[in-house]
Structure 1
Amino acid sequence: MRTLRLQNELELFVAGMGAVQSLFLSVYSLLERKWDFRNLLLSLFFFAITIRLTKSILWVYLDTSPIWFINLGFAAHALTGPALLLYVWHFLFQKKWSHWNWFHFVPGLLLLLFINFLTRDGFWYVGGYSALLFHQMIYALGGLVLLGIFLRKKPLRVQPTKGAKIWLITLILGTATLQFLYFSNYILGITPYLLGPLLYLPFIYFLAFVLFKNPKILQHVTPHKNGGPKLSAEELGVLADRLKKTMQFEKLYLDPDCTMTKVAKATSMQPYLVSYVVNKVIGMGFPDFLNSYRVEAVKDRLIHPDYKHTKIASIAYDCGFNTLSAFNSAFKKATGSTPTKFQKEQVSS
């Protein structure tokens, strides 16, 4: 197999640092105080990457690597794809863990079971390694598909924060790059063997930096069984403030087709969390919440000189109301007066 034309010491150091940093992220994910099965998947992924990178290094620099460790590296390789894909899937869609998910790990677990029996010439070189690489490329492509759905802003139950978006993009692209470089080395024969581990180093360190700057990435917000989120009153207050400021400055309510999903995207919150904050923290239903901003916008225009000759119906439509009946009802509920009466009283005063 081809290797990079670098000094052995530098090559070994760079690849080794990637493995060490991956191990650090594995331990960090596992010890996150707000434990979640998604963090366990993430920890498994980084630990499997650690074993895979270590195996690659020893394969190049230690000719006497025992067969069990070589098989361990390949078994770890088989676990990386499923662990990452399931992590991303559950991160984005907030799905409950299904027993069917275990089937994704069957190939890796079988390799672990036969760790002392699989040989290079009798298994890996006669199609075993090729099957492993194709298997992982399928999972890498699955991750890229999820990334495509995410970047096209399809409706998701969870809307990650900016830091979480960078985290997911880097994690998926970095891993897909690593998997492809292993694939292109053995199947296509066009890249050096250690190019994958070497190029993975900047990805893994950038991931550590993003996680350091955004520690709440690992603190997944999920609903209680009674429908409430696992957040403190202070955290809910922060979310309510973010929601109000977004509505105030981005004027989402002016869109007559404004929905909870659109508000969730604009505030980087899950739709169910927007609903909970509006109902339980702010204290009103979502339609009333939207209409409260629309009514205030109408009131401002009714008393503004620039709208003196504008029909009230036009003002109502411009402020996001779909029908005059909905407008009149919302206005009277909020002010106790009709729009015409309100305008006359304000102008006369």
Structure 2
Amino acid sequence: MRLLRLNKEIEIFIAGIGAAQSLLMALYSFFEPKKDYRNLLLFVFFFAITVRLTKSILWVYLDTSPLWMLNLGFIAHSISGPALFLYMLHFIYTRKWSAWNLLHFLPSIILLFYVSSLSLDGFWHKGGYSVLLFHQVSYTLASLFLLGKWLLPKNRTEQKQHVSLIWIVSLVLGTAVLQFLYFSNYILGITPYLLGPISYLPFVYFMAFLLFKNPSLLKNTASKKSQNIRLTQHELNIYASKLEEIMYAQKLYLDTNCALDTIAKQAKLPAYMVSYVLNNAVGKSFPDFLNSYRIEEVKMKLVHPDHKHTKIASIAYDCGFNTLSSFNIAFKKTTGITPTQFQKRHNVE
């Protein structure tokens, strides 16, 4: 295991303010007036990171630290990965909390029972710490997978606002850097031990700036309202038919600026209600619902003789798509083939 060769006071200062800022983030999340289980997950995550960074400082500079304190640091490390993954999962997707989610923390709970007896040489250095690091890297990779899937154009939703995007990307990447540097230090032996806490500092301060400037990141009123909706299947079908009729009759999809609020205004329904109906009655997210009409319009023009000399890109733009890349992705997702292949199959040359 390598140690970072910097001035001792500088190391303590950098790692210490990172831990302190994480603690502030944890408290800010916990005392958010509108309680939400996502905020509690965020509290657990930041508090776990605080304890983990504190353990790192004690490990390097205080050899007399009691065993239980070091073990708490390891246990906190085991909590951070699942907490981030569950926060990501419920931040991106609208779903209710399930008690089964607690199984993610089962290893941490088991370790907690042995907090005063797990020795460094008899457990952690005998493979316990290696398993812990692989465990956390697995959760980090799962979080990165969720993030990557969410960022794909075909999975974009109306909820993906610019600030939310920056927030979640910073949170996942900052944690990934921290987890992978701990991994590369002990498993690979190529990075200094305190490089993780030091590298995490700019991320946590940027996240703090983002959160304090945009406290609405801790509010998810739309999803709460969606969870309180109680509609029969018959009522859902009525609302779905109304939305489909509006889209077909008014051709709102041809407008490149058409958004969830546009449809909601025309249907005289709250935006969260429209989103709920589309997901539960139509079985599509709003972007997929919108693009399905655009794709049908494109298909009709691609096979029409009047448009046989019109460029595919021009048709895509005329049918409401903003970019050619998003059009190609949506078209292949819907039809299974490219626009050019579609044209050839229908003998449009």
Q: Same fold (TM over 0.5)?
A: yes
Unaligned runs of 5+ in 1: 229-250, 268-272, 291-317, 322-349
Structure 1 partner of 2:201: 201
Question: What is the number of residues matched between the two proteins?
Answer: 259
Check the 8 A contact 1:253/1:319 in 2, yes or no: no
Matches of 1:95 and 1:277, distance apart in 2? 27
Q: 1:3: how far off?
A: 1.6
1:7/1:107 Cα in 2 relative to 1: closer, same or farther (>3 Å)?
A: same
CA separation of 1:132/1:69 partners in 2, compared to 1, >3 Å: closer, same or farther?
Answer: same
Matched residue type, 2:177: T
> What is the letter of the counterpart of residue 106 of structure 2?
V
Map of 2:313 onto structure 1: none
Q: Which residue of 2 aligns with 1:86?
A: 86
Residues 128-186 of structure 1, C-alpha deviation per residue, up to 9 Å, x if partnerless?
00000000000000011011011113436662321111000000000011000000000
Name 2:153's counterpart in structure 1.
153
Q: 1:16 aligns to what?
A: 16
Aligned 8 A contact 2:96 2:227 in 1: no
Is the Cα–Cα contact under 8 Å of residues 94 and 157 in structure 1 kept in the other structure? no
Question: What is the Cα deviation at residue 212 of structure 1?
Answer: 1.6
Shift of 1:86: 0.2
Pick closer, same or farther for the CA change 1:214–1:274 going to 2, 3 Å.
Answer: farther
Give TM-score scaled by structure 2 length: 0.68
Following TM superposition, the consecutive aligned residue runs of length 4 or more in structure 1 with deviations greater than 4 angstroms are 273-278, 318-321
**1:150-229 alignment runs, 5 A limit:** 150-155=150-155, 159-221=159-221, 222=223, 223-227=225-229
Equivalent AA in structure 2 for residue 67 of structure 1: L
Deviations 1:230-250 (A, max 9, x none): xxxxxxxxxxxxxxxxxxxxx
Q: Match of 1:263?
A: 259
RMSD: 3.1
Alpha-carbon deviation of 1:253?
3.2
C-alpha separation in 1, matches of 2:17 and 2:106: 30
Counterpart-to-counterpart distance in 1, 2:191 and 2:319:
57
Counterpart amino acid of residue 86 in structure 2: L
- 1:56 to 2:53 alignment: no
Which amino acid in 2 is paired with 1:6?
A: L
Asked whether the 8 Å contact 2:264–2:270 carries over to 1, the reply is no
**TM-score, normalised relative to structure 1:** 0.68
Q: Distance in 2 between matches of 1:36 and 1:158?
A: 21
Per-residue deviation, 1:280? 2.6
How far apart are the structure 2 equivalents of 1:132 and 1:175?
A: 15
* Contact map agreement 1:29 1:40 (CA 8 A) in 2: yes
Identity across aligned pairs (percent)?
55
Q: 1:16 touches 1:54 (CA, 8 Å); kept in 2?
A: yes
Give yes or no for the alignment of 1:41 onto 2:37: no
Name the counterpart of 2:138: 138
User: How big is the shift at 1:197?
Assistant: 0.2
